[in-house]
Amino acid sequence: MAKFLVEKSGPLRGEVVISGAKNAVLPILAATLLSKENCEIDEVPDLKDVQVLCSLLASLGAEVDKHIEENFVKVKAERILTSHASEELMKMMRASILVMGPLLARTGKAIVNLPGGCAIGERPVELHFKGFKALGAKVEIQPNGMVIATADGLRGANVYLDFPSVGATENIMMAAALAEGTTIIENAAQEPEIVDLANFINKMGGHIRGAGTDTIKIEGVETLHGTSHSVIPDRIEAGTFMVATAITRGSILIRNVLPQHIKPIIAKLRECGVEIYYNDEEGLLVRADVNPLISTDLKTLPYPGFPTDIQSPFMAFLTTVQGRSVVMETVFENRYMHVLELNSMGARIKTEGKCAVIEGNKKLHGSEVSATDLRAGAALVIAGLVAEGQTVVNDIYHIERGYEKFVEKFEKLGAKIKRID
């Protein structure tokens, strides 16, 4: 099994260019099924999850022209040959459920298996099904985990989400784009990735208003045409490099970043004493080599709150600052699996329920650890950059699902990291 070897490195310095957002490109690729015409997408990150979704689209009958190493994909779903998504591909990642809405809208039928992905607690797929039922679909879940959804034409409806689920918001939005009449999603997720998907569908001739707020209004249309689109930058990748700079007391310039998408990360790092400046021409300058760094408390929340995906890397950083910090995880209930691994490296973190207390000013040491999920893996690599000796990170397939050119980008900033097959 492949692993990362991470050595104690000096302060990170230099420039890094942020890739297109994984969590934006996956729903956009799924949405190409809504049109019979060519859809061209650039700023597509070269990631395993993207490859899996492209394979899934091809298995459904779409023509997929992949140039992922050049960050470009063209999809033409003129004919959908089957509404039954491959069980093998569905099990490889959770985002594969996003083909359900487009399949229902285009063919009146979607057969999927409950998907795989990171094991970070319950993710409410029921909310997706609730939305489809509101639009007039029948949804049947079989004991083996197969889900069969059928509809004799979708009709607009009011859908209230019990939790602002990103995936459910996206799936219902895609299904509603070709439904008859008006759909209103209340308590919708507000993430930038939702806005990017809405912009893509609107470029295809859709009528979606209110994306980025908690109420989204979709006027259904009969057909959607082809279009071209550039994916937004990955705010979680940007946040990861910001936190890596902070833990190593470095100074880096981050290019291709939208600061309005990372406001809570900027705010919390500034509270800790990190200096951050932005201008449109250069990008985001992160300087952790100016002030002594101190503790802060944080609480994860759906966007625009502090992102749960940066909680584990930020926790690694908080083990190295002066003072005690408290972290509250409110989005996923199983997102402290990295704590055991960080404690094995010399951190002192105690958890109780949703709360974690981090003792600061700890000297970390190398250890053999496992990436329990995508962002926990990034946290362990970041901790390894300041740990004495060598850190071995196993199960790195999680990390490589979500970060493009991970090793290459870190090496360019001076990190001592190697991938071993």
pLDDT tens-digit readout, 166-214: 999 999 999 999 999 999 999 999 999 999 999 999 999 999 999 999 9
Per-residue pLDDT at 151: 98
Per-residue pLDDT at 145: 83
Per-residue pLDDT at 52: 94
More confident residue, 144 or 318: 318
Of the residues 39, 118, 272, 355, only one is catalytic, namely: 118
Joined together, the tokens standing for residue 83 give 């509404």
Per-residue pLDDT at 117: 59
Cα angle at 261 between 270 and 376, to 5 degrees?
A: 75
Q: Is 325 helix (H, G, I), strand (E, B) or coil?
A: strand
Q: Contact, 178 vs 34, CB < 8 A?
A: yes
| Structure confidence by residue, pLDDT tens digits, 383-403 | 999 999 999 999 999 999 899
Nearest one of 347, 331, 329 to 339, comparing CA atoms? 347
Least confident of 120-129, 181-190, 352-361, 371-380: 120-129
| Structure confidence by residue, pLDDT tens digits, 120-150 | 455 568 999 999 999 999 999 988 889 999 9
Per-residue pLDDT at 116: 61
pLDDT at 119 over 70: no
Residue type, 163: F
Q: How high is the mean pLDDT of the chain? A: 96
Per-residue pLDDT at 301: 96
CA atoms of 205 and 39, how far apart (whole Å): 12
Joined together, the tokens standing for residue 138 give 């029948």
**Counting runs of H as helices and runs of E as strands, what totals does the chain give?**
14, 23
Residue 118 is a catalytic residue:
yes
- Residues recorded for the chain: 421
How many CA atoms, within 13 angstroms, populate the side-chain half-sphere of residue 234? 26
Which sign does the torsion angle of CA 217, 158, 109, 147 carry?
positive
CATH 3.65.10.10: which residues of the chain? 3-19+233-420, 22-230
Structural class in CATH, domain 3-19+233-420 = alpha beta
Say what angle helices 166-177 and 192-203 make with each other, to 10 degrees. 10
| Structure confidence by residue, pLDDT tens digits, 82-94 | 999 999 999 888 8
Per-residue pLDDT at 374: 92
| Fold classified for 22-230 | UDP-n-acetylglucosamine1-carboxyvinyl-transferase; Chain (3.65.10)
Per-residue pLDDT at 118: 57
Nearest one of 402, 384, 406 to 393, comparing CA atoms? 384
Tell me which residue has tokens 């970041």: 382
Q: Contact, 120 vs 371, CB < 8 A?
A: no
Cα angle at 206 between 202 and 208, to 5 degrees?
A: 75
Q: Is 348 helix (H, G, I), strand (E, B) or coil?
A: strand
pLDDT at 28 over 60: yes
Joined together, the tokens standing for residue 134 give 């509101």
- Give 115's pLDDT tier (boundaries 50, 70, 90): confident
pLDDT at 53 over 90: yes
